[in-house]
Amino acid sequence: MNDTTVPETLAYTNGRLVLIDQTRLPGELVTLVCEDVEQTHDAIRRLVVRGAPAIGIAAAYGVCLAKPANRAGYLSAIERLATSRPTAVNLFWALDRMKAVVESTSSDDDLAGVLQAEAIAIHDQDRMMCRDIGRHGATLLRDCHAVLTHCNAGGLATSMWGTALAPIYHLHQSGHAIEVFADETRPLLQGARLTAWELSQAGVPVTVLTDSMAGSLLRTGKIDAVIVGADRIAANGDAANKIGTYPLAVLAKYHDVPFYVAAPSSTFDLSLANGDLIPIEQRARIEVSSPHGVCVVPDAANVINPAFDVTPADLITAIVTELGVVESPDTEKLARHLA
């Protein structure tokens, strides 16, 4: 258990990866056990585990499940897990770390133990990252009493407090009264199903709205700030996050509401000059045409279903990482921040 009342998203025990099955929330709190690489790949692809930091941790543990448990088996596992989702750069960051261990460990006999230690280190590092983002982000939100968020960038997306929700948990535990408004987040409703669930579990007041209500809510003046997570941030500060984030940033700019992005340093991809180069995952038609098994789109109609959009850096008031806060982010500022 973490500092809130929300169970930890994932655990590695007795050679098995145990995940909260986020596809079943909020109706059921159940776990899914992965005992091999293919089960881990499927869990990431199906969003049983989701959120860039949590995907990276799960993938690292997934490498440890490789069979055969030898150098070739681990390298094959890394290659397979890298195909599970294309946008979240933490996936590749974690797998690159695991690959470096495989390539640098001289004895095959030691490999399993060293790989498990590296996966645990990635997990522990994420816990510290969540705390530090919470601490730094709280300085931006300390005068806020109502914030708006999109998708889920809380404990369910990481190892514990999350990224965008970490400052809220930090303030809540310090006694600061703060209310969260959560976009439903179409088409998979991560805001309604996941953000609202975990905040409710932690005793943080939360109100759900449909994505199309955000503009009207911002116009009322009730919202003090918008804060979201990210799955990949380019060198110039352009940030990819769940589809619907970009129009929310435009609305925040129009209504003069600060727009914050919270993400760990592992979410930055400095090899990409700008957000136009970020690969955007295209997901299945059925998620839009038949949500939760109910057909809402006629067969003759086409569907587009990008999982993410990119918010340009000039719409972002500040980016919060475990290292601190970067206001009005650009290439030069971020390079100094991450150096």
Burial class (CB in 10 A: 0-12, 13-18, 19+), 189: buried
Instruction: Give the separation between CA 89 and CA 266, rounded to whole angstroms.
Output: 8
For residues 214 and 303, state if they share a domain.
yes
148 lies in the same domain as 295? yes
Extract the tokens encoding 297: 């789109």
Q: Among 127, 150, 175, which residue terminates a domain?
A: 127
Q: How far apart are CA 89 and CA 265, in angstroms?
A: 11
Residues 42 and 148 in one domain: no
pTM, whole model, 2 decimals? 0.94
Q: Exposed, middle or buried: residue 95 (CB in 10 Å: 0-12, 13-18, 19+)?
A: buried
Does 62 count as an annotated binding residue?
no
Q: Quick one: pLDDT at residue 5?
A: 57
How many angstroms separate the CA atoms of 109 and 46, rounded? Answer: 34
pLDDT of residue 292: 86
271 assigned to some structural domain: yes
Q: Are residues 197 and 323 in the same domain?
A: yes
The residue type found at 99 is K
- pLDDT value at residue 4: 54
CA distance 115 to 97: 9
Q: HSE of 181 in the Cβ direction (CA atoms, 13 Å)?
A: 20
Residue 3 lies in a domain: no
Low-confidence ranges of the chain (pLDDT < 50): 1-2
Distance (Å, whole) CA 158 – CA 124: 11
- Specify if 59 maps to a domain: yes
pLDDT at 88: 86
- In the chain, the number of structural domains is 2
Known binding residue 236? Answer is no
Claim to verify: residue 284 and residue 163 sit in the same structural domain:
yes
Residue 1 lies in a domain: no
pLDDT of residue 310: 98
What CATH number corresponds to the domain at position 27?
1.20.120.420
Report the alpha-carbon distance of residue 122 to residue 124 in Å, rounded.
6
Q: What is the CATH number of the domain that holds 167?
A: 3.40.50.10470
Same domain, 111 and 144: no
242 is in an annotated binding site: yes
Assess whether 163 and 98 both reside in one domain.
no
* Tens-place pLDDT, residues 163-215: 999 999 999 999 999 999 999 999 999 999 999 999 999 999 999 999 999 99
- Confidence at residue 6, expressed as pLDDT on a 0 to 100 scale: 65
318: domain range? 136-338
* pLDDT one-digit tens code per residue, 258-270: 999 999 999 999 9
105-to-79, 110, 188 alpha-carbon distances in Å: 18, 7, 41
The answer to whether residues 110 and 220 belong to one domain is: no
Q: Which domain-ending residue is among 77, 97, 127?
A: 127
Q: Which residues are catalytic?
A: 231
- In terms of domains, do 105 and 159 share one? no
Decide if 4 is inside a domain: no
Q: Examine residue 147 and state whether it is found in any structural domain, yes or no.
A: yes
Whether residues 160 and 69 fall in one domain: no
Say how many residues make up the chain: 339
Same domain? For 144 and 269 the reply is yes
Q: DSSP letters of 269-332?
A: ETT-SSGGGS---B--THHHHSGGG---S-TTS----BSEEEE-GGG-SEEEETTEEEES--HH
Q: Is 190 annotated as a binding residue?
A: yes
> Is residue 2 situated within a structural domain?
no
Name the domain boundary from 98, 127, 156.
Answer: 127
73 assigned to a ligand binding site: no
Q: What is the pLDDT of residue 106?
A: 79
Domain shared by 107 and 141, yes or no: no
The confidence score (pLDDT) of residue 1 equals: 32
